A and B are shown apart, each in its own frame.
Chain A
Amino acid sequence: MYNFDYEAPSSVAEAVAALAAEDAQALGGGQTLIPTMKQRLAMPSTLVSLSGIAEMKGFDVGNGAVTIGGNVTHAVVAAGAGAYPALAELASHIGDPAVRNRGTIGGSLANNDPSADYPAAALASAAVIVTNAREIAADDYFQGMFTTALEDGEIITGVRFAVPEVANYQKFVQPASRFALVGVFVAKHADGVRVAVTGASEEGVFRWAAAEAALNDSFSADAVADLAVDPANMIGDLHGTKAYRAHLVGVMTKRAVAAAT
């Protein structure tokens, strides 16, 4: 890892100022960024740790919403998001216990790894990504693998989830990395069903419109039994072919609906 200057601001305003430096990079829990820097795939000249910012540690539950500060770790979400059980369950299976004690929801969403779990939850929940500058709807936020609507130096200070009527996340893990080979988050809201798929597509997390339409007609596993995504857009690698991932999208969707009903 190349060396860098380390800053540990105690407020969002200080962090924004520190991130204005050339080649500055925000550091959340570091569970992706530090390994990436060790491989010299990232080499910021200034690293701005967000973990000391108290105003990003909030965790509010109420009025049908769960609002989670950007600094909140996966372990804290797993233990504290009881008002949104599918989200707590998802958080409890990210990485391993030690990783969950460091990794943060803001960091995960800012990185938008195509195999990460939180993007599926955020997209299926119609979550609102709150930054230092604005609020971004999940539908506008995710823009392809490792790509988001965030501007340079913009910080995710929190995420607001609308708690669905029912929801479930099903993850088929890649056996070595334990990342999602395919993960499907199904959420039935008062105004419709949303189905978000992670791990599968070259475009990163995406909504499966055909499944949403079928589930709006009938919220049952049978309703999606005959649907399939186009393998052409799926990721194909040594862990699974495009056709295999496309098949898994269908299977995981059915399982998620069955578990939610």
Chain B
Amino acid sequence: MAKVSMTVNGKAASAEVEGRTLLVSFLREELGLTGTHVGCDTSQCGACVVHVDGKAVKSCTMLALEAEGAEVATIEGQAEPDGTLNTIQAAFREHHGLQCGFCTPGMVMSAAALLKDNPKPSEQDVREYLEGNLCRCTGYHNIVKSIMAASGQDVSALAAE
């Protein structure tokens, strides 16, 4: 066991963990932040995407100890403290960007990383950026639409089917 300390959604967090403890396990099991999901556990599906020092990463493929001293952001820190959804979350609700909701935390965190680097992405940019985020409901059209809308672009002409 070794001690790990990091900042999660602006709050200091630390615990004794095993070497093999994954970042996602630390978030879910030590901190109770179960909004970050484990879908495939093989770094393919992206349901576990969080930000580490501002970069989107798959938290099922990073050790908790590798995040020592890092600033971690999860889906729980995206809304305002009073529960008001942020722009991306609100766009997902408005444009039906989720069906079962399982992939949604990863989709929102990936979208946030994309829009930080590329505030006005094309539809193609969004689709390419989401290469590592899978939606088993196959709700991609509306996910893409939600992210385009969150970027402030007109989405009335985007495919809806």
Mark A residues whose CB is within 8 Å of B: 1-6, 8, 27, 30-31, 34-35, 37-38, 47, 49, 51, 75, 95-99, 101-102, 178
Contacts and interface: CB of A to CB of B under 8 A. Distances in A.
Given A51-B66, A178-B131, A98 B42 contact: no
Contacts, number: 73
Nearest to B19: A6
Given A30-B62, A30-B66, A96 B46 contact: yes
Contacts of A8: 65-66, 68
B2 interface: yes
Contacts of B113: 97
15 contacts: A3-B18, A3-B20, A4-B19, A5-B19, A6-B2, A6-B63, A30-B61, A35-B43, A49-B66, A75-B55, A96-B132, A98-B132, A99-B61, A101-B57, A102-B58
Contact of B62 (A3, A96, A102): A102
Contact of A97 (B41, B63, B132): B132
Given A31-B61, A34-B61, A51-B66, A98 B19 contact: no
Given A1-B20, A75-B55, A30 B63 contact: yes
Nearest to B106: A98
Nearest to A178: B131
Contacts of A51: 66
B66 A97 contact: no
Contacts of A30: 61-63, 66
**Contact count band on B:** 20 to 34
Contacts of B133: 96
B19 A101 contact: no
Nearest to A44: B19
Interface in B121-158: 129, 131-133
A37 B26 CA distance: 18
B49 interface: yes
A4 B19 CA distance: 6
Interface string B57-98: 110011101101000000000000000000000000000000
Contacts of B66: 8, 27, 30, 49, 51
Nearest to A37: B20
B57 A102 contact: yes
Contact of B65 (A37, A49, A97, A98): A49
**8 closest Cβ pairs, A-B complex:** A96-B132, A6-B19, A101-B55, A96-B131, A1-B20, A4-B19, A98-B56, A98-B58
Given A98-B49, A98-B56, A102-B58, 16 more contacts: A2-B20, A3-B19, A6-B63, A30-B62, A34-B61, A34-B63, A35-B42, A35-B61, A49-B66, A96-B131, A97-B132, A99-B58, A99-B61, A99-B132, A101-B56, A178-B131
A38 B65 contact: no
A43 to B, nearest CB: 10
Most buried by B among A38, A98, A102: A98
B56 A97 contact: yes
A95 B42 CA distance: 13
A47 B66 CA distance: 11
A98 B46 CA distance: 8
Interface in B1-47: 2, 18-20, 22, 41-43, 46
Contacts of B49: 98
A165 to B, nearest CB: 29
A5 B2 CA distance: 9
A51 B55 CA distance: 15
B104 interface: no
